Amino acid sequence: MKRIIESIKDGIAEAIFPSNIYCICCGSLIDGSRQYALCDVCVKKFHWITGRTCEKCGKALPDTYRGRTCYDCMRLDHVFEKGFSCLTYGLHEREVLLDHKYNGKGYLAAKFGDILYDRISCEDIHPDVIIPVPISAGRLKKRGYNQSALMARQLSKRWGVPIDESLLVRRKETTLLRSLNPADRRLALSDAFAVKAEHRLTGKCVLLIDDIYTTGATVDTCSSVLMDAGADKVYVLTLMSGGNRRPKEE
């Protein structure tokens, strides 16, 4: 019933604000042939990850960078097998992501899910199940939807890989992580997630979906919980990721 209601709400929003008529970034008039409902100008402004990437987390690496992993992955051990990302988080990416998360534009998930599909479907991975990173009950009530779950549903529809939104749950509200350093992020996320019906994960390959990847604290915590519950491997796919920034000296 909940999925039906959400589908109806998305349909109403799409009817009022058709995503194939206006550019989802700048709002200019477009025709239905524009990929991801982005105008020719905005699609060029986005920082698409098409070149070198970190071999662990999937962040974009500049051609002049000598390492094979980003600065964060050189310092941190990750639980997940490998990460993939579609865009580097910048000014224009930030605008559409905030619209999706906080401005009631859940229908943008259809376009974002298409972006996720085009990124991951060419990789040699074969997940058994797609699992979105859950948000807290309080944020879900306030926002009306889990933005990562909406994107994951579109990806599941396009790819034919089943989605399970009930296995991984968020047990507590956490402080906003963007102002915390990597160590404090992991501390804040301690015991934040749990798995229900662990037997359904035994030996499974999981594709974990989130909207943005920065240091990996959230997806690492989720991956650890999933692995402890019996998952064989966890891959991570995010719509956006931060840049390869050199860490500040301690």
Q: Do residues 37 and 18 touch, judged by C-beta distance below 8 A?
A: no
- Band (17; pLDDT cuts 50, 70, 90): low
Q: In what order do the strands lie in the sheet with 129-132?
A: 82-88, 233-241, 205-213, 129-132
Which architecture does CATH list for 46-241?
3-Layer(aba) Sandwich (3.40)
- Band (187; pLDDT cuts 50, 70, 90): low
Query: Which comes out higher in pLDDT, residue 11 or 66?
Result: 66
Cβ neighbours of residue 209 closer than 8 Å, sequence gap 6 or more: 116, 130, 131, 132, 133, 148, 149, 151, 152, 155, 237, 238
Rounded to an integer, the average pLDDT of 65-76 is 93
Per cent of the chain over pLDDT 70 is 85
Chain centre distance of CA 189: 17
Give the single-character DSSP code of 22.
Answer: B
User: Which SS3 state, helix, strand or coil, does residue 170 take?
Assistant: strand
The pLDDT of residue 250 is above 60: no
- What pLDDT score was predicted for residue 18? 60
Query: Which comes out higher in pLDDT, residue 228 or 11?
Result: 228
Cβ neighbours of residue 69 closer than 8 Å, sequence gap 6 or more: 54, 55, 56, 57
Query: Which comes out higher in pLDDT, residue 43 or 247?
Result: 43
Dist CA 59 CA 47 (whole Å): 11
- What pLDDT score was predicted for residue 222? 95
Long-range contacts of 11-19 (CB under 8 A, 24+ apart): 13/104, 13/105, 13/106, 13/107, 14/107, 17/105, 17/107, 19/107, 19/108, 19/110, 19/111
Domain spans in the chain, listed from the N-terminal domain onward: 46-241
- Residue 140 sits at the vertex; the CA angle it makes with 170 and 161, to the nearest 5 degrees, is 70
pLDDT digits (tens, 9 = 90+) for 100-114: 999 989 999 999 999
> What pTM does this model have?
0.89
User: Which SS3 state, helix, strand or coil, does residue 239 take?
Assistant: strand
The torsion of the CA quartet 50, 89, 114, 139, rounded to 10 degrees, works out to 160
Rounded to an integer, the average pLDDT of 188-208 is 88
Dist CA 74 CA 104 (whole Å): 37
- Mean pLDDT for the chain overall: 89
- Band (43; pLDDT cuts 50, 70, 90): very high
- Band (136; pLDDT cuts 50, 70, 90): confident
- What pLDDT score was predicted for residue 119? 98
- Band (139; pLDDT cuts 50, 70, 90): confident
Structure tokens at 223: 């991956």
